[in-house]
């Protein structure tokens, strides 16, 4: 049963169809890649899935615990609370807050105390805050960031900031995780390490993952299925081997064969 | 615990100074102004400094609290009447904050500032034309209930409640909106809800400040709550540091003292006042405190280090 099913979704900006007529299904537990040349509409599709943009037409359904939840027209925070979290291509951490605060904010929806408790710091405050602190530090351990919990996010290295983005998304307790270019700007060793960790996270948190990536070694190595977008349209899908040899994909990336032109 | 001892000490010292007449009646009025400005500044700081919403409507919320409290206490000139007046003033301002916030908080930055400024002017004009507020002539002879004790309770109470709030999960949600609204929304924070909450809390506190004003200075007229009053509060917040409650308190005290001291130079008072502001902003563009807070542990650490140094030097001398 697909955890996410996108049917004939279209989004146009002015006259330009950034995403047109895209349908895709993601099965629970899968690790799916979304690739395509620059400007193909990958991030726009992510923004449609997470509610930042509203599709012009088409439907997006999330199925969690056998319940189908239509995501069209729902605000982003609500989509996140339903179990769909994301990272951003252009890192969007809370840069002037500490590493720990970044994670705590993402856990906000789990807090069990009201406004009155937060004004008066009633006993529930201390109990809940300690629980959150404990859980946050557990998450930060994934990428060895627990030692840097009191540093400002802006002072982390680029790779660490990408890691923190993933941890922050995990802190919202998602079922489906969307990663927008998690390996951008990383060297091959860092990318290899990231691949291991993505696989590990998926097992440990019982996640379904959809990721956008330009690093083909990463995509071909860890993704079970791949969707390829070009000019807003879905041009191919299948296993890494199928996609690798697909003629339209090669054309999209390398241009048409001279003989055909 | 240390916090409460320090608070009690401040209260006791000033109370003794007042009882022994070392603080004159004139300076007591300055104290009340400081208290009111602290409440106004910390509550505007919640809206502007912590949640990142640029509001120029604080005088409007303050005036609602002031008029409601004045009208209630003039009909019930007793202590319970006064407490009821302050409470109703805060509630009325909070309701107004909700009504204004819901539509305007969809706006950002400058647009929100202009919308809240407009709201504040509308309120002023309404008070100017209502019968119950006695129009432009204003209300005279409001019973005075505010003394040092009440002022202290309300000021410290507001500061403590707000500082607890910003350290809670709900406070963090507000701060995340200031940092990056889209990221906050993507992390499951209902940004509109939290903006409205910050607005309501800020408005309620401004209402309390207005109620204290009405109940100390006997007299209210709509023009006390013009655009410049909102700017005054904003100046305190920016000067103290956006996102620092102790900065707001420090700036409120500092500006009141400067302004009181400058009374001796009436001709050039505003020139000097503005010059001081400009100089502070040139050398501390992030405000006196930036977004940091003063805590008591800083003082005790200073004290401990000094003692330790003295202890060491004594040992060395032997």
Residue of B nearest to A153 (CA): B179
Provide the total of helices (H) and of strands (E) in chain B, helices listed first: 13, 0
Q: Does B183 contact A at CB distance below 8 Å?
A: yes
Q: Does B180 contact A at CB distance below 8 Å?
A: yes
| A98-102 average pLDDT score | 95
Mutate to test the interface with A, among B163, B169, B177, B182 (most CBs of A within 10 A): B169
For residue B157, is pLDDT > 90?
yes
Looking at residue B23, what is its pLDDT?
A: 83
Buried b vs exposed e over A216-248: b needs ≥16 C-beta within 10 Å?
Answer: eebbbebbebbbbbbbbbbbbbeebeebeebee
| B236-244 average pLDDT score | 92
Q: Does B197 contact A at CB distance below 8 Å?
A: yes
| B257-286 average pLDDT score | 86
| B85-101 average pLDDT score | 95
Residue of B nearest to A81 (CA): B188
Looking at residue A28, what is its pLDDT?
A: 92
Looking at residue B24, what is its pLDDT?
A: 83
The interface predicted TM-score (ipTM) is 0.90
Looking at residue A254, what is its pLDDT?
A: 77
**Three-state secondary structure along chain A?**
CEEEEEEEEEEEECCEEEEEEEEEEEECCCEEEEECCCCCCHHHHHHHHCCCCCCCEEEEEEEECCEEEECCCCCHHHHHHCCEEECCCCCCCCCCCEHHHHHHHHCHHHCCCCHHHHHHCCHHHHHHHHHHHHHHHHHHHCCCCHHHCCCEHHHCCHHHHHHHHHHHHHHCCCCEEEEECCCCCCCHHHHHHHHHHHHHHHHHHCCEEEEECCCHHHHHHHCCEEEEEECCEEEEEECHHHHHHCHHHHHHHHCCCHHHC
Q: Does B165 contact A at CB distance below 8 Å?
A: yes
- Contact between B259 and B48 under an 8 Å Cβ cutoff? The reply is no
- What is the Cα–Cα distance from B283 to B279, expressed in whole angstroms? 6
Band of residue B318 on the pLDDT scale cut at 50, 70, 90: very low
pLDDT of A140-152, one tens digit each?
998 899 999 999 9
- Contact between A194 and A183 under an 8 Å Cβ cutoff? The reply is yes
Q: Could you state, in order of their start, the residue ranges of all structural domains in chain A?
A: 2-83+174-260, 96-171
Fold of A2-83+174-260: Rossmann fold (3.40.50)
pLDDT of A210-252, one tens digit each?
999 888 888 888 999 999 999 999 999 999 999 888 888 888 8
In sequence order, the 6+-apart residues with CB closer than 8 A to the CB of B184 are: A77, A94, A105, B173, B176, B177, B191
Taking CB atoms and an 8 Å cutoff, what residues of chain A touch B51? none
C-alpha dist (Å) from residue B181 to A98, A115, A257, B52: 17, 21, 46, 10
In sequence order, the 6+-apart residues with CB closer than 8 A to the CB of A6 are: A22, A23, A24, A25, A45, A49, A58, A59, A60
Band of residue B300 on the pLDDT scale cut at 50, 70, 90: low
φ and ψ at A238, to 5 degrees? Answer: 150, -165
Partner residue facing A125 (CB), from B168, B184, B187: B168
Q: Could you give the count of Cα atoms lying within 13 Å of B86 in the half-sphere of its Cβ?
A: 22
Listed residue (A39, A38, A50, A37) closest to A9, CA to CA? A50
C-alpha dist (Å) from residue B252 to B142, B157, B176: 25, 16, 26
- Contact between A94 and B180 under an 8 Å Cβ cutoff? The reply is yes
């Amino acid at each position: 049963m697909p955890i996410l099913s996108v049917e004939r979704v279209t989004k146009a900006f002015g006259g330009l169809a950034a995403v047109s007529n895209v349908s895709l299904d993601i099965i629970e537990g899968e690790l799916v890649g979304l690739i395509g040349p620059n400007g193909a509409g990958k991030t726009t599709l992510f923004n449609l899935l997470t509610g930042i943009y509203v599709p012009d037409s088409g439907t997006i359904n999330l199925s969690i615990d056998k319940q189908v939840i239509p995501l069209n027209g729902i605000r982003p925070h609500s989509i996140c609370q339903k179990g769909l979290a994301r990272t951003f291509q252009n890192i969007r951490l809370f840069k002037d807050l500490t590493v720990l605060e970044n994670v705590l904010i993402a856990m906000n929806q789990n807090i069990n105390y009201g406004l009155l408790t937060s004004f008066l710091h009633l006993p529930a405050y201390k109990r809940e805050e300690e629980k959150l602190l404990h859980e946050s530090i557990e998450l930060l351990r994934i990428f060895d960031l627990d030692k840097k919990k009191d540093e400002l996010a802006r002072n982390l290295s680029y790779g660490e900031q990408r890691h923190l983005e993933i941890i922050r998304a995990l802190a919202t307790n998602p079922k489906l995780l969307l990663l927008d270019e998690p390996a951008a700007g990383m060297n091959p060793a860092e990318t290899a390490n990231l691949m291991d960790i993505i696989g590990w996270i998926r097992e440990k948190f019982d996640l379904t993952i959809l990721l956008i990536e330009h690093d083909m070694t990463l995509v071909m190595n860890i993704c079970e299925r791949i969707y390829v977008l070009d000019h807003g349209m879905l041009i191919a899908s299948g296993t890494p081997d199928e996609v690798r040899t697909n003629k339209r994909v090669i054309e999209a990336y390398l241009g048409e064969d001279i003989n055909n032109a | 615990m240390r916090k409460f001892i320090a608070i009690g000490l401040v209260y006791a010292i000033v109370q003794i100074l007042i009882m022994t007449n070392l603080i004159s009646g004139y300076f007591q009025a300055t104290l009340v102004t400081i208290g009111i400005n602290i409440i106004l500044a910390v509550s505007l700081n919640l809206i502007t400094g912590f949640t990142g919403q640029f509001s120029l409507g604080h005088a409007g919320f303050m005036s609602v609290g002031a008029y409601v409290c004045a009208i209630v206490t003039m009909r019930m000139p007793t202590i319970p009447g006064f407490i009821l007046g302050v409470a109703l003033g805060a509630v009325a301002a909070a309701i107004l904050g909700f009504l204004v916030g819901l539509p305007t908080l969809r706006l950002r930055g400058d647009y929100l500032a202009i919308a809240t400024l407009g709201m504040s002017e509308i309120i002023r004009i309404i008070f100017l034309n209502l019968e119950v507020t006695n129009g432009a002539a204003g209300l005279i002879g409001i019973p005075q209930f505010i003394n040092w004790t009440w002022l202290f309770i309300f000021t410290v109470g507001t500061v403590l409640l707000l500082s607890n709030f910003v350290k809670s999960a709900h406070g963090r949600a507000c701060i995340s909106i200031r940092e990056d609204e889209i990221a906050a929304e993507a992390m499951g924070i209902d940004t509109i809800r939290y903006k409205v909450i910050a607005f309501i809390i800020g408005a309620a506190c401004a209402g309390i400040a207005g109620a204290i004003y009405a109940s100390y200075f006997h007299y209210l007229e709509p023009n006390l709550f013009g655009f410049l009053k909102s700017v005054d509060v904003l100046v305190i917040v920016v000067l103290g540091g956006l996102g620092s409650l102790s900065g707001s308190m420090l700036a409120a005290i500092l500006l009141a003292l400067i302004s009181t001291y400058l009374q001796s130079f009436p001709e050039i008072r505003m020139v000097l006042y503005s010059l001081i502001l400009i100089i502070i902003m040139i050398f501390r563009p992030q405000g006196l405190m930036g977004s940091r807070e003063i805590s008591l542990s800083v003082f005790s650490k200073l004290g401990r280090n000094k003692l330790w140094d003295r202890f060491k030097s004594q040992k060395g001398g032997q």
